Structure 1
Amino acid sequence: MGLSYILNNLFFLIFTFMAMLTFLVFVSSRKHLLLTLLSLEFLVLVVFVALSFTLFYFYNEMYFMLIYLTLTVCEGAVGLAILVSLIRCKGNDNIQSLSFLLW
């Protein structure tokens, strides 16, 4: 049991805890769209750090991380566009004031 084994286990536990906490915030925040988007972006960031550590540590691969970041930026832009259009139409970002079938 070397130091690298302990650090790998600690890394795994910390990022598992962060992912679970972020997922809990994502599931429980149903009132405001901005809070939901922020928790989703933090969850994507946690997945990116875990993925980059795994891919770089085991496979020395960096190209997939660039593709993942590109798709993450596109997802963030779509989320912000939906948020801006929601605020322009309704005046707030409350999710309860929406009817997604009529919007």
Structure 2
Amino acid sequence: MVGCEGVSVLLFWLLAKINHKGHSSNKVNTGSVVKGMAERAFITFTMINGITQSLTLFAALKIATRIKDEENKISNDYYLLGNLLSITLAIIYSQLIIKYIG
């Protein structure tokens, strides 16, 4: 899974480059990497334990944290792709854990 996280950092970095608006919130840094790892750990844990409803909670929390005023508008496509990639990685992790460990 460490290798997968390395690939995910590269993918998120490329995604930030594609979204070349230059906003500081679109840059990949240590904080965003750790936050993403924590998010995927949460999703993986809940999926392994069969609590798939947590995806709804996770999505609601992500949307709530992205609500900004008009002056600080964000790129919705950037965050949508990032969240979908994060959830996909967590699904892969949970399936690997179920298959090889569980």
* TM-score band, normalised by shorter chain: 0.3 to 0.5
Q: Of the two, which has the highest radius of gyration? A: 1
- Greater RCO (Cα-Cα under 8 Å, separation 6 or more): 2
TM-score by length of 2: 0.39
